A and B are shown apart, each in its own frame.
Chain A
Protein backbone atom coordinates (compact mmCIF):
# COMPACT_ATOMS: atom_id res chain seq x y z
CA UNK A 1 0.00 0.00 0.00
CA UNK A 2 1.27 3.43 -0.89
CA UNK A 3 1.90 6.02 1.82
CA UNK A 4 -0.96 8.50 2.16
CA UNK A 5 1.06 11.43 0.85
CA UNK A 6 1.53 9.71 -2.47
CA UNK A 7 -2.22 9.68 -3.00
CA UNK A 8 -2.79 13.39 -2.52
CA UNK A 9 -3.40 15.79 -5.36
CA UNK A 10 -0.17 17.47 -4.48
CA UNK A 11 1.78 14.29 -4.91
CA UNK A 12 0.05 13.67 -8.23
CA UNK A 13 0.96 17.20 -9.31
CA UNK A 14 4.47 16.54 -8.21
CA UNK A 15 4.63 13.37 -10.28
CA UNK A 16 3.22 15.16 -13.33
CA UNK A 17 6.15 17.47 -12.96
CA UNK A 18 5.09 21.10 -12.81
CA UNK A 19 3.02 22.32 -9.91
CA UNK A 20 2.79 26.09 -9.67
CA UNK A 21 5.15 27.38 -6.97
CA UNK A 22 3.28 28.23 -3.80
CA UNK A 23 -0.01 26.81 -5.04
CA UNK A 24 -0.60 24.38 -2.19
CA UNK A 25 -1.53 25.50 1.29
CA UNK A 26 0.60 24.67 4.30
CA UNK A 27 -1.82 22.12 5.75
CA UNK A 28 -1.71 20.02 2.60
CA UNK A 29 2.07 20.28 2.44
CA UNK A 30 2.46 19.11 6.02
CA UNK A 31 1.45 15.56 5.11
CA UNK A 32 4.12 15.29 2.41
CA UNK A 33 7.34 13.43 3.11
CA UNK A 34 10.64 15.32 3.27
CA UNK A 35 11.63 13.80 -0.06
CA UNK A 36 8.45 14.98 -1.76
CA UNK A 37 8.92 18.46 -0.28
CA UNK A 38 12.50 18.56 -1.53
CA UNK A 39 11.33 17.79 -5.04
CA UNK A 40 8.93 20.70 -4.85
CA UNK A 41 11.60 23.00 -3.37
CA UNK A 42 13.75 22.02 -6.34
CA UNK A 43 11.10 23.60 -8.56
CA UNK A 44 11.21 26.79 -6.50
CA UNK A 45 8.22 26.10 -4.24
CA UNK A 46 8.66 28.38 -1.21
CA UNK A 47 5.80 26.97 0.94
CA UNK A 48 7.42 23.51 0.74
CA UNK A 49 10.70 25.07 1.85
CA UNK A 50 8.88 26.66 4.80
CA UNK A 51 7.53 23.27 5.91
CA UNK A 52 11.02 21.75 5.77
CA UNK A 53 12.38 24.63 7.86
CA UNK A 54 9.64 24.17 10.45
CA UNK A 55 10.31 20.43 10.60
CA UNK A 56 14.09 20.46 10.83
CA UNK A 57 15.32 23.80 12.16
CA UNK A 58 15.05 23.12 15.88
CA UNK A 59 16.73 19.69 15.87
CA UNK A 60 19.54 20.82 13.61
CA UNK A 61 20.05 24.00 15.60
CA UNK A 62 20.44 21.86 18.73
CA UNK A 63 22.84 19.54 16.97
CA UNK A 64 24.99 22.38 15.54
CA UNK A 65 24.99 24.29 18.83
CA UNK A 66 26.18 21.22 20.72
CA UNK A 67 28.88 20.41 18.19
CA UNK A 68 30.24 23.95 18.31
CA UNK A 69 29.48 24.75 21.95
CA UNK A 70 28.16 28.13 20.83
CA UNK A 71 24.59 29.17 20.11
CA UNK A 72 25.47 32.06 17.76
CA UNK A 73 27.71 29.81 15.66
CA UNK A 74 25.04 27.13 15.67
CA UNK A 75 22.57 29.67 14.26
CA UNK A 76 25.01 30.71 11.52
CA UNK A 77 25.55 27.08 10.59
CA UNK A 78 21.85 26.29 10.23
CA UNK A 79 21.38 29.41 8.09
CA UNK A 80 24.18 28.25 5.79
CA UNK A 81 22.69 24.76 5.75
CA UNK A 82 19.24 25.99 4.69
CA UNK A 83 20.82 28.17 2.02
CA UNK A 84 22.55 25.04 0.69
CA UNK A 85 19.24 23.21 0.86
CA UNK A 86 17.49 25.89 -1.21
CA UNK A 87 20.27 26.10 -3.79
CA UNK A 88 20.85 22.34 -3.97
CA UNK A 89 17.23 21.19 -4.03
CA UNK A 90 17.08 21.23 -7.84
CA UNK A 91 19.76 18.51 -7.91
CA UNK A 92 18.17 16.47 -5.11
CA UNK A 93 18.03 12.76 -5.93
CA UNK A 94 14.93 11.16 -4.38
CA UNK A 95 16.45 7.69 -4.61
CA UNK A 96 19.60 8.70 -2.72
CA UNK A 97 20.15 9.28 0.97
CA UNK A 98 17.22 9.98 3.25
CA UNK A 99 16.63 13.71 3.61
CA UNK A 100 17.27 13.66 7.38
CA UNK A 101 20.60 11.89 6.96
CA UNK A 102 21.66 14.18 4.10
CA UNK A 103 20.74 17.36 5.98
CA UNK A 104 22.47 16.30 9.21
CA UNK A 105 25.52 15.60 7.07
CA UNK A 106 25.34 19.12 5.58
CA UNK A 107 25.12 20.62 9.07
CA UNK A 108 27.90 18.40 10.40
CA UNK A 109 30.24 19.32 7.52
CA UNK A 110 29.66 23.02 8.19
CA UNK A 111 30.42 22.40 11.89
CA UNK A 112 33.60 20.51 11.00
CA UNK A 113 34.72 23.40 8.77
CA UNK A 114 34.32 25.80 11.65
CA UNK A 115 36.02 23.48 14.13
CA UNK A 116 38.99 23.18 11.77
CA UNK A 117 39.26 26.95 11.52
CA UNK A 118 39.42 27.37 15.25
CA UNK A 119 41.47 24.22 15.92
CA UNK A 120 43.73 24.55 18.91
CA UNK A 121 41.27 26.61 20.88
CA UNK A 122 39.97 24.18 23.49
CA UNK A 123 36.56 24.93 24.94
CA UNK A 124 36.66 24.54 28.73
CA UNK A 125 33.83 22.39 30.00
CA UNK A 126 32.50 25.12 32.29
CA UNK A 127 32.40 27.67 29.48
CA UNK A 128 31.08 25.46 26.75
CA UNK A 129 27.63 25.66 25.28
CA UNK A 130 25.66 27.77 27.66
CA UNK A 131 22.21 26.33 27.27
CA UNK A 132 20.60 29.03 29.39
CA UNK A 133 19.26 30.83 26.32
CA UNK A 134 18.18 27.53 24.78
CA UNK A 135 15.54 27.13 27.42
CA UNK A 136 13.48 30.27 27.29
CA UNK A 137 10.25 31.04 29.00
CA UNK A 138 8.97 31.60 32.50
CA UNK A 139 8.36 27.90 33.13
CA UNK A 140 12.00 26.96 32.70
CA UNK A 141 12.91 25.46 36.02
CA UNK A 142 16.25 26.51 37.47
CA UNK A 143 17.17 22.99 38.50
CA UNK A 144 16.39 21.63 35.05
CA UNK A 145 18.51 24.36 33.51
CA UNK A 146 21.40 23.50 35.78
CA UNK A 147 21.09 19.83 34.84
CA UNK A 148 20.97 20.74 31.13
CA UNK A 149 23.98 22.97 31.57
CA UNK A 150 25.98 20.19 33.14
CA UNK A 151 25.03 17.70 30.44
CA UNK A 152 25.87 20.20 27.71
CA UNK A 153 29.17 20.90 29.45
CA UNK A 154 29.99 17.19 29.63
CA UNK A 155 29.09 16.75 25.94
CA UNK A 156 31.27 19.71 25.01
CA UNK A 157 34.18 18.04 26.79
CA UNK A 158 34.00 14.93 24.60
CA UNK A 159 36.28 14.51 21.59
CA UNK A 160 34.50 15.68 18.41
CA UNK A 161 33.74 12.28 16.88
CA UNK A 162 32.41 10.86 20.13
CA UNK A 163 30.25 13.95 20.66
CA UNK A 164 28.86 13.64 17.13
CA UNK A 165 28.00 9.97 17.64
CA UNK A 166 26.42 10.49 21.06
CA UNK A 167 24.41 13.51 19.85
CA UNK A 168 23.07 11.78 16.76
CA UNK A 169 22.07 8.55 18.53
CA UNK A 170 20.95 9.59 21.99
CA UNK A 171 19.87 13.21 21.52
CA UNK A 172 18.71 13.46 17.91
CA UNK A 173 17.22 9.99 17.95
CA UNK A 174 18.70 8.75 14.68
CA UNK A 175 18.85 5.01 14.13
CA UNK A 176 22.24 3.32 14.25
CA UNK A 177 22.39 3.08 10.46
CA UNK A 178 21.37 6.71 9.96
CA UNK A 179 23.95 7.91 12.48
CA UNK A 180 26.62 5.77 10.85
CA UNK A 181 25.66 7.21 7.45
CA UNK A 182 25.88 10.77 8.71
CA UNK A 183 29.28 10.09 10.28
CA UNK A 184 30.35 8.05 7.24
CA UNK A 185 31.56 5.14 9.37
CA UNK A 186 30.46 1.51 9.69
CA UNK A 187 28.36 0.21 12.58
CA UNK A 188 31.39 -1.26 14.33
CA UNK A 189 33.14 2.11 14.35
CA UNK A 190 29.95 3.79 15.55
CA UNK A 191 29.72 1.27 18.39
CA UNK A 192 33.27 2.09 19.42
CA UNK A 193 32.61 5.85 19.39
CA UNK A 194 29.43 5.40 21.42
CA UNK A 195 31.11 3.13 24.00
CA UNK A 196 33.89 5.63 24.64
CA UNK A 197 31.59 8.65 24.56
CA UNK A 198 29.05 7.06 26.85
CA UNK A 199 31.72 5.99 29.35
CA UNK A 200 33.18 9.50 29.46
CA UNK A 201 29.74 11.03 29.96
CA UNK A 202 28.91 8.59 32.76
CA UNK A 203 32.14 9.51 34.49
CA UNK A 204 31.46 13.24 34.18
CA UNK A 205 27.80 13.05 35.05
CA UNK A 206 28.04 10.34 37.71
CA UNK A 207 26.94 12.65 40.53
CA UNK A 208 23.99 13.87 38.51
CA UNK A 209 22.98 10.36 37.59
CA UNK A 210 23.01 9.27 41.22
CA UNK A 211 21.06 12.37 42.24
CA UNK A 212 18.37 11.80 39.66
CA UNK A 213 18.06 8.07 40.17
CA UNK A 214 18.33 8.28 43.96
CA UNK A 215 21.36 5.97 43.98
CA UNK A 216 23.98 6.68 46.61
CA UNK A 217 27.50 6.32 45.20
Chain B
Protein backbone atom coordinates (compact mmCIF):
# COMPACT_ATOMS: atom_id res chain seq x y z
CA UNK B 1 0.00 0.00 0.00
CA UNK B 2 2.86 2.39 0.82
CA UNK B 3 4.39 1.62 -2.56
CA UNK B 4 1.08 2.42 -4.25
CA UNK B 5 0.80 5.68 -2.33
CA UNK B 6 4.32 6.64 -3.43
CA UNK B 7 3.37 5.87 -7.00
CA UNK B 8 0.32 8.13 -6.85
CA UNK B 9 2.20 10.91 -5.05
CA UNK B 10 4.55 11.28 -8.00
CA UNK B 11 2.64 10.29 -11.10
CA UNK B 12 -0.98 10.86 -10.16
CA UNK B 13 -3.97 8.70 -11.06
CA UNK B 14 -3.21 8.25 -14.77
CA UNK B 15 -1.96 4.67 -15.04
CA UNK B 16 -0.32 5.50 -18.37
CA UNK B 17 2.19 7.60 -16.45
CA UNK B 18 3.13 4.88 -14.01
CA UNK B 19 6.49 3.22 -14.65
CA UNK B 20 5.92 -0.08 -16.48
CA UNK B 21 7.71 -2.19 -13.88
CA UNK B 22 5.28 -0.99 -11.18
CA UNK B 23 2.07 -1.20 -13.14
CA UNK B 24 1.26 -4.88 -12.57
CA UNK B 25 1.54 -4.64 -8.78
CA UNK B 26 -0.52 -1.46 -8.74
CA UNK B 27 -3.30 -2.97 -10.86
CA UNK B 28 -3.36 -6.08 -8.67
CA UNK B 29 -3.72 -3.95 -5.55
CA UNK B 30 -6.52 -1.92 -7.13
CA UNK B 31 -8.40 -5.08 -7.97
CA UNK B 32 -8.29 -6.31 -4.40
CA UNK B 33 -8.20 -3.25 -2.14
CA UNK B 34 -11.01 -0.74 -1.60
CA UNK B 35 -8.68 1.71 0.14
CA UNK B 36 -6.43 1.76 -2.93
CA UNK B 37 -9.41 2.52 -5.14
CA UNK B 38 -10.43 5.43 -2.89
CA UNK B 39 -6.89 6.78 -2.99
CA UNK B 40 -6.90 6.53 -6.76
CA UNK B 41 -10.25 8.40 -6.99
CA UNK B 42 -8.89 11.15 -4.76
CA UNK B 43 -5.78 11.54 -6.93
CA UNK B 44 -7.90 11.53 -10.07
CA UNK B 45 -9.91 14.47 -8.69
CA UNK B 46 -6.69 16.36 -8.08
CA UNK B 47 -5.44 15.58 -11.59
CA UNK B 48 -8.73 16.87 -13.00
CA UNK B 49 -8.36 20.07 -11.00
CA UNK B 50 -4.96 20.75 -12.57
CA UNK B 51 -6.00 19.67 -16.04
CA UNK B 52 -8.99 22.02 -15.98
CA UNK B 53 -6.70 25.05 -15.77
CA UNK B 54 -7.43 26.97 -18.98
CA UNK B 55 -4.72 27.78 -21.50
CA UNK B 56 -4.37 31.48 -22.17
CA UNK B 57 -5.84 32.73 -25.42
CA UNK B 58 -3.21 34.59 -27.46
CA UNK B 59 -4.40 38.10 -28.32
CA UNK B 60 -4.70 39.23 -31.94
CA UNK B 61 -1.79 41.64 -31.57
CA UNK B 62 0.53 38.91 -30.27
CA UNK B 63 -0.50 36.55 -33.06
CA UNK B 64 0.09 39.31 -35.61
CA UNK B 65 3.55 40.11 -34.21
CA UNK B 66 4.58 36.45 -34.23
CA UNK B 67 3.29 35.82 -37.73
CA UNK B 68 5.20 38.92 -38.92
CA UNK B 69 8.53 37.49 -37.72
CA UNK B 70 9.56 36.00 -41.12
CA UNK B 71 8.97 39.32 -42.93
CA UNK B 72 10.74 41.30 -40.21
CA UNK B 73 13.65 38.87 -40.16
CA UNK B 74 13.95 39.05 -43.96
CA UNK B 75 13.99 42.86 -43.89
CA UNK B 76 16.64 42.81 -41.15
CA UNK B 77 18.62 40.33 -43.22
CA UNK B 78 18.38 42.55 -46.32
CA UNK B 79 19.45 45.62 -44.37
CA UNK B 80 22.37 43.68 -42.91
CA UNK B 81 23.09 42.31 -46.37
CA UNK B 82 23.26 45.81 -47.81
CA UNK B 83 25.68 46.83 -45.06
CA UNK B 84 27.84 43.76 -45.54
CA UNK B 85 27.82 44.20 -49.33
CA UNK B 86 29.93 47.37 -49.06
CA UNK B 87 32.58 45.59 -46.98
CA UNK B 88 34.61 44.31 -50.01
CA UNK B 89 34.70 47.84 -51.43
CA UNK B 90 35.86 49.34 -48.14
CA UNK B 91 39.63 49.33 -49.08
CA UNK B 92 38.80 51.29 -52.22
CA UNK B 93 36.66 53.72 -50.22
CA UNK B 94 39.51 54.07 -47.74
CA UNK B 95 41.96 54.80 -50.58
CA UNK B 96 39.60 57.37 -52.01
CA UNK B 97 39.12 58.98 -48.62
CA UNK B 98 42.90 59.10 -48.06
CA UNK B 99 43.43 60.62 -51.49
CA UNK B 100 40.74 63.21 -50.78
CA UNK B 101 42.31 64.13 -47.45
CA UNK B 102 45.75 64.37 -49.01
CA UNK B 103 44.40 66.52 -51.82
CA UNK B 104 42.64 68.73 -49.31
CA UNK B 105 45.84 69.06 -47.29
CA UNK B 106 47.93 69.91 -50.32
CA UNK B 107 45.28 72.24 -51.59
CA UNK B 108 44.98 73.96 -48.24
CA UNK B 109 48.70 74.41 -47.79
CA UNK B 110 49.04 75.71 -51.43
CA UNK B 111 46.38 78.33 -50.75
CA UNK B 112 48.40 79.63 -47.83
CA UNK B 113 51.61 79.68 -49.84
CA UNK B 114 50.48 82.29 -52.46
CA UNK B 115 48.91 84.33 -49.71
CA UNK B 116 52.23 84.48 -47.93
CA UNK B 117 54.16 85.33 -51.13
CA UNK B 118 51.64 88.04 -51.94
CA UNK B 119 52.19 89.45 -48.52
CA UNK B 120 55.94 89.23 -49.10
CA UNK B 121 55.55 91.01 -52.47
CA UNK B 122 53.53 93.65 -50.80
CA UNK B 123 56.29 94.05 -48.28
CA UNK B 124 58.89 94.22 -51.04
CA UNK B 125 56.92 96.98 -52.66
CA UNK B 126 56.83 98.76 -49.41
CA UNK B 127 60.56 98.33 -48.98
CA UNK B 128 61.17 99.60 -52.47
CA UNK B 129 59.18 102.61 -51.51
CA UNK B 130 61.65 103.16 -48.77
CA UNK B 131 64.68 102.52 -51.00
CA UNK B 132 63.67 104.50 -54.03
CA UNK B 133 61.51 107.00 -52.38
CA UNK B 134 57.84 107.46 -52.46
CA UNK B 135 56.09 108.28 -55.64
CA UNK B 136 58.62 106.81 -58.06
CA UNK B 137 55.81 105.53 -60.15
CA UNK B 138 53.70 108.31 -59.14
CA UNK B 139 56.65 110.57 -59.84
CA UNK B 140 56.98 109.24 -63.32
CA UNK B 141 53.33 109.68 -63.73
CA UNK B 142 53.75 113.06 -62.25
CA UNK B 143 56.80 113.61 -64.43
CA UNK B 144 54.88 112.63 -67.50
CA UNK B 145 52.19 114.87 -66.35
CA UNK B 146 54.78 117.53 -65.78
CA UNK B 147 56.21 116.99 -69.21
Judge if A202 is at the interface, Cβ distance under 8 Å.
yes
List A residues 55-73 near B (Cβ within 8 Å). 57-59, 61-62, 65, 71
> Beta-carbon contacts of B46-65 to A below 8 Å, as 1s and 0s?
11011111111110001101
Residues of A in contact, count (CB < 8 Å): 52
Given contacts A187-B19, A209-B46, A213-B42, contact A49 B70 (CB under 8 A): yes
Q: In the complex, A191 Cα to B55 Cα: how many Å?
A: 24
Neighbouring A residues of B131 by C-beta, 8 Å: none
Q: Are B50 and A170 in contact (CB under 8 A)?
A: yes
Q: Does A93 interact with chain B (Cβ within 8 Å)?
A: no
A155-200 with Cβ < 8 A to chain B: 166, 169-171, 175-176, 187, 191-192, 194-195, 198-199
Enumerate chain B residues within 8 angstroms of A194, measured Cβ to Cβ.
10-11
Chain B interface: which of A31-39, A120-128, A131-139?
A131-139
**How far is A198 from B7 in the complex, measured between Cα atoms in Å?**
12
Report the Cα distance A77→B69, complex, angstroms: 14
| Interface: A151 (CB within 8 A) | yes
Closest residue of A by beta carbon distance from B41: A213
Quick one: closest B residue to A81, CB to CB?
A: B66
Chain B residues whose CB sits within 8 angstroms of the CB of A87 once the complex forms: 73
- Cβ-defined contact, A53 with B63, below 8 A: yes
Residue B67 CB within 8 A of the other chain: yes
**Which of these, B6, B47, B54, B58, contacts A170 with CB under 8 Å?**
B47
Structural contact, B70 and A151, CB atoms closer than 8 A:
no
Q: Does B9 contact A (CB under 8 A)?
A: yes
Are the CB atoms of B51 and A171 closer together than 8 Å?
Answer: yes
> How far does the alpha carbon of A83 sit from the alpha carbon of B70 in the complex, in Å?
8
Q: Does A115 contact B (CB under 8 A)?
A: no
CB distance from B61 to the nearest CB of A (A): 9
Residue B125, interface by CB 8 Å: no
Once the chains are docked, how many angstroms separate the CA of A147 from the CA of B52? 10
A residues whose Cβ falls under 8 Å from a Cβ of B: 44, 46, 49-50, 53, 57-59, 61-62, 65, 71, 74-75, 78-79, 82-83, 86-87, 131, 133-137, 144, 147-148, 151-152, 166, 169-171, 175-176, 187, 191-192, 194-195, 198-199, 201-202, 205, 208-209, 212-213, 215
A-B interface, 9 closest residue pairs, ranked by CB to CB distance from nearest? A134-B56, A195-B10, A62-B55, A213-B45, A170-B50, A191-B10, A194-B10, A82-B66, A46-B70
